[in-house]
Structure 1
């Protein structure tokens, strides 16, 4: 190893090798050839730049494959317009349609009908409109009768949740969230298709009168242990959601997935079999007993 102030052995060997390579290139004439080639390349580049400036291209090279020249062809017209132009008389204009006034022709204005004739025409039009309305009403009656017949055939005979889904007539249950037609006898909404009538197969809370208090017969019995006939007789019946909010029945909660998630509880799923095996009347009674155990 050399001293810090002098060159190392590696640097000395490197300098000697560079000197040998330069001498070999000089002997072969490579440096002279490289200089001549660089001079030729710079001359050609300056010449092309000057030509581009003269052509006004701004330094860009011209296209290798220039676009072919545009050839003007006659405009295409539809066969209908060609036939109309051929059939028109010689003196008629073949251009776009214009009014007679703009074409310089005189026009004769038709006389308006008298007052009596106006009333006659209006009466005839009114009669035609009335006949059309009557025909539409007859058609609607026929359609309504056919709809009622189909509903009566498809309705579920049981008094459970129902089996016919109808997004128009069906009312959504708060628990199962199914818009099914009830199987209750005498329900004009589900049986006759009357939208103005309530569904007697769904509950109605006397306190909130909202969607929280709408339960079908099956969900009311399985999830809360209440009977639809008794609820229908009780005019002051409150839904489980309102009972939970008012606190009238301790540890009684609405066990729908919507309300359980609001209480940060996991939905129970199909828990009626576990509830009945343990001797509970419904899922609500099972949950009420569990909440009591947690409280104490």
Structure 2
């Protein structure tokens, strides 16, 4: 058994290997490089930890009074609050409104009469233009005009007895547009031209018939089979392509209107 101060075989081999590695590193010059790198790292650490003093000291903070306009300074009291002239004890002058005497009232009456004359002249010009056509009308008016369900035009009708389009009376109905007795909705509003071309009906006959119903109500109630509204809006809802200007094809084939042509086509398609 060895003594207490003796080295073991492992330690002897370890020290021999360390000495060999040092000799090899010294021969290659690695020890010198390691020392230079350690010196550079320690110098950079010292520079990072140190604080460089400012070359010029920071100027002291000086509080200056706020800039205010002369109007605000004059309107500010000793308490620092703004008050009106009446609360500050100053006299207030009230400007009297101009008196509307006899002449001023006469001037206002003259202006009103001039406006009425201008409105009458404008209405006469519109009436002359709208009477050029009884079909869909010739004058577009977004206020007085009622939108047709098919052509979607808010034109003034050319009917002579129409007080709405002729005299500008909003409370009167337009006799140049139809009104369904069942739904009284926008679906039943058609102008003279669309009523004739698309459905083969005359406006005079519709006016006489107090129970006239639009194609929508006729289809819903089942009064006339295969009779539908052929406007582009309704045809798209039924997933049918709009017909466009189909009146020429309908009349060439002997049909009274586009609606009669579509009704015959639907009958033949359902037959197969």
Distance 2:246 2:206 in 1: 23
Query: What RMSD over aligned residues (CA atoms) do the two structures have, in Å?
Result: 4.0
Secondary structure, counterpart of 1:264 in structure 2: coil
Secondary structure, counterpart of 1:168 in structure 2: coil
Tell me how far 1:127 sits from its aligned partner. Answer: 8.6
Tell me how far 1:198 sits from its aligned partner. Answer: 1.2
Q: CA offsets per residue over residues 265-288 of structure 1, 9 Å max, x none? A: 232222222222322221111110
Among 174, 179, 198, the residue aligned to 1:199 = 174
Distance 1:174 1:21 in 2: 101
Secondary structure, counterpart of 2:74 in structure 1: coil
Residues 1:42 and 2:45 aligned together: yes
Distance 2:27 2:161 in 1: 117
Tell me how far 1:163 sits from its aligned partner. Answer: 2.2
Equivalent residue number for residue 15 of structure 1? none
Distance 1:253 1:22 in 2: 107
Distance 2:105 2:143 in 1: 30
> Counterparts of 1:101-112 in structure 2 under 5 Å?
102-103=88-89
Secondary structure, counterpart of 1:33 in structure 2: helix
- Cα distance change on mapping 1:173 and 1:100 into 2, 3 Å: closer
Distance 2:74 2:162 in 1: 70
Equivalent residue number for residue 147 of structure 1? 122
Equivalent residue number for residue 33 of structure 2? 30
Tell me how far 1:292 sits from its aligned partner. Answer: 0.3
Among 258, 261, 267, the residue aligned to 1:286 = 261
Distance 1:134 1:270 in 2: 53
Equivalent residue number for residue 4 of structure 1? none
- Cα distance change on mapping 1:266 and 1:99 into 2, 3 Å: same
Equivalent residue number for residue 14 of structure 1? none
Q: CA offsets per residue over residues 77-114 of structure 1, 9 Å max, x none? A: 48xx6xxxxxxxxxxxx7117536635x7x79xxxxxx
Tell me how far 1:147 sits from its aligned partner. Answer: 2.8
Distance 1:34 1:169 in 2: 96
Native 8 Å contact 1:174 1:256 kept in 2: yes
- Cα distance change on mapping 1:242 and 1:37 into 2, 3 Å: same
- Cα distance change on mapping 1:193 and 1:38 into 2, 3 Å: same
Distance 1:189 1:22 in 2: 116
Equivalent residue number for residue 74 of structure 2? 95
Tell me how far 1:135 sits from its aligned partner. Answer: 5.7
The structure with the larger Rg is 2
Tell me how far 1:154 sits from its aligned partner. Answer: 2.8
Distance 1:222 1:165 in 2: 21
- Give aligned pairs, total: 233
Distance 1:126 1:25 in 2: 117
TM-score for the superposition, normalised by structure 1: 0.65
Distance 2:115 2:134 in 1: 30
Native 8 Å contact 2:236 2:242 kept in 1: yes
Structure 2's unaligned 5+ residue stretches are 1-23, 76-82, 93-98
Native 8 Å contact 2:247 2:257 kept in 1: yes
